């Protein structure tokens, strides 16, 4: 008896005052109606019994309807994820019915305000699930449920405009594809004139660039680690992130950078899967040391021949990742979560990092 009363005291202590009042109310309200019905029975008044029974039936129908509808509605709650890839400042909205309190269980990338979660950091934000509570103030009833989601949202640090001065410089200078030298067109900026060639032939010659310009340069590590077989290979996550970027920016320039490899390719959304093939090719070429040496000689060759611009072989001390960190370029680097420790070094070099 003492043990039971002790447990009861512990339970009461763990509840808030409102919870205790709600529990009492939830029990007391139907009891009052039953008591009124019994009063009618004891006073030989079937009319009181009928009306009190009707009141109790209405109340029970309401409680059950509330319970059934809320249970179904809570199971249908989902999140409004507008894109696979999001930026800092974007928000994710939980489509919860009115009167349902939503408490997301999420990584600290999110700033939670009610049912709306705003991404405050870059990286991979994780949303484990939602703790949903429906409460009915009239009856004092509440239902709580956990809706597991296990969402991983790749998040850019910010929109392209917000990436800083280094990003805008890159956008102006190195994004367009260089084609070769052409006769200078006076409508084009004078900065495009190639003065050494102009002096040689005594005519103004300008550098020709393709009209289409990538809005974003993304470096990805051309390392065998990315292709490791498993349930989800790191390259798959990288490709997913690239797809998200291509969807957002249209044309993006992907730089494959690894020991002995440096290759840039402009891709649109439909061409993103090509990157994997390119990576496999690049890696298989780079593994062949003789081939690397042969390609290294192509650095000074005409641009048509130098499809592969191979950097000098890395120094023995430089491992794959160290080489990537030292040579990554562009606005953004995509690295798998297994190599997340390199994110700080890349950021220090002014390159935003997306860990996938």
Partner 1 sequence: MDTCRLTLTLMVIVGIALVASTASIPLLPLAVLLPLLLLTKPRHCQYVTLGLASLLPLTLLAAQGTLPMILAMLEELIYASLLLARLSRLGKLVMALNLPASVALFVVYYLADAWRPMVDYVVYLIPLTSSQIVGIALIDSMMLAIISILIIDYLVLRIIEYRRIRSLTLR
Q: Which stretch binds partner 1 (CB under 8 A): 3-11, 72-80, 173-181, 203-211?
A: 72-80
Minimum CB separation of residue 67 from partner 1 in Å reads 7
**8 is an interface residue for partner 1 by CB under 8 A:** no
**135 is an interface residue for partner 1 by CB under 8 A:** no
Q: Which stretch binds partner 1 (CB under 8 A): 96-104, 167-175, 272-280, 324-332?
A: 96-104
Q: Which residues pair with 147 in a beta bridge?
A: 130
**66 is an interface residue for partner 1 by CB under 8 A:** yes
**178 is an interface residue for partner 1 by CB under 8 A:** no
**144 is an interface residue for partner 1 by CB under 8 A:** no
**95 is an interface residue for partner 1 by CB under 8 A:** no
Minimum CB separation of residue 23 from partner 1 in Å reads 16
Q: Which of residues 26-45 bind partner 1 (CB under 8 A)?
A: 29, 32-33, 36-45
**CA separation for the pair 176, 328 (Å, rounded):** 18
**48 is an interface residue for partner 1 by CB under 8 A:** yes
Strands (E) located in the chain: 78-80, 86-87, 91-95, 100-106, 110-113, 116-119, 123-136, 141-156, 176-183, 205-213, 216-221, 252-258, 261-267, 332-335, 352-355
Which two tokens mark 332? 């953004």
Q: Which stretch binds partner 1 (CB under 8 A): 59-67, 157-165, 205-213, 278-286?
A: 59-67
Q: Which stretch binds partner 1 (CB under 8 A): 131-139, 172-180, 201-209, 244-252?
A: 131-139
Choosing from 15, 19, 27, 60, the residue that interacts with partner 1 (CB under 8 A) is 60
Choosing from 9, 11, 20, 62, the residue that interacts with partner 1 (CB under 8 A) is 62
CB atoms within 10 A of CB 12: 11
**163 is an interface residue for partner 1 by CB under 8 A:** no
**CA separation for the pair 226, 228 (Å, rounded):** 6
Contact 119, 89 (CB under 8 A): yes
Contact 129, 103 (CB under 8 A): no
Choosing from 6, 137, 164, 319, the residue that interacts with partner 1 (CB under 8 A) is 137
> Would you say 29 or 87 has its CB closer to partner 1?
29
Contact 92, 121 (CB under 8 A): no
**CA separation for the pair 220, 275 (Å, rounded):** 10
Choosing from 15, 20, 21, 50, the residue that interacts with partner 1 (CB under 8 A) is 50
**91 is an interface residue for partner 1 by CB under 8 A:** no
Which two tokens mark 302? 């005409």
**149 is an interface residue for partner 1 by CB under 8 A:** no
- How many residues lie near partner 1 (CB under 8 A)? 47
Strands (E) located in 214-346: 216-221, 252-258, 261-267, 332-335
SS (H, E, C) 226-254: HHCCCCCCHHHHHHHHHHHHHHHHCCEEE
CB atoms within 10 A of CB 19: 13
**58 is an interface residue for partner 1 by CB under 8 A:** yes
> Would you say 140 or 259 has its CB closer to partner 1?
140
Residues that bind partner 1 (CB under 8 A): 29, 32-33, 36-62, 64-73, 75, 97-99, 136-138
């Amino acid at each position: 008896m003492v043990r039971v009363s002790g447990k009861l005291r512990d339970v009461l202590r763990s509840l808030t005052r409102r919870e205790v009042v709600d529990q009492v109310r939830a029990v007391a309200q139907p009891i009052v109606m039953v008591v009124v019905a019994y009063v009618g029975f004891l006073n030989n008044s079937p009319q009181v019994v009928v009306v009190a029974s009707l009141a109790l039936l209405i109340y029970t129908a309401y409680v059950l309807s509330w319970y059934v509808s809320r249970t179904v509605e809570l199971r249908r709650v989902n999140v409004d994820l507008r894109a696979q890839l999001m930026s800092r400042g974007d928000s994710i909205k939980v489509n919860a019915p009115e009167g349902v309190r939503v408490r997301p269980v999420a990584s600290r990338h999110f700033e939670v305000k009610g049912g709306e979660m705003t991404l405050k950091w870059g990286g991979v934000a994780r949303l484990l699930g939602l703790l949903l509570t429906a409460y009915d103030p009239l009856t004092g009833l509440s239902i709580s449920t956990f809706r597991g989601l296990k969402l991983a949202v790749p998040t850019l640090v910010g929109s392209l405009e917000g990436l800083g001065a280094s990003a805008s410089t890159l956008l102006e200078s190195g994004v367009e594809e260089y084609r070769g030298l052409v006769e200078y067109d006076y409508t084009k900026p004078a900065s495009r004139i190639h003065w050494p060639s102009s002096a040689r032939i005594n005519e103004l010659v300008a550098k020709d660039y393709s009209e289409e310009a990538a809005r974003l340069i993304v470096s990805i590590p051309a390392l065998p680690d990315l292709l490791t077989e498993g349930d989800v290979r790191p390259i798959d996550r990288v490709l997913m992130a690239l797809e998200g970027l291509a969807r957002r920016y249209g044309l993006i320039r992907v730089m494959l950078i690894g020991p002995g490899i440096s290759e840039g390719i402009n891709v649109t959304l439909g061409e993103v899967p090509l990157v994997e093939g390119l990576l496999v090719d690049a890696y298989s070429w780079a593994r062949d040391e003789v081939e690397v040496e042969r390609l290294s000689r192509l650095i000074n060759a005409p641009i048509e021949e130098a499809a592969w611009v191979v950097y000098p072989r890395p120094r023995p001390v430089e491992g794959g990742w160290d080489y990537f960190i030292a040579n990554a370029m562009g606005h953004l680097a995509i690295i798998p979560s297994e190599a997340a420790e390199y994110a700080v070094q890349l950021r220090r070099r002014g390159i935003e990092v997306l860990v996938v």
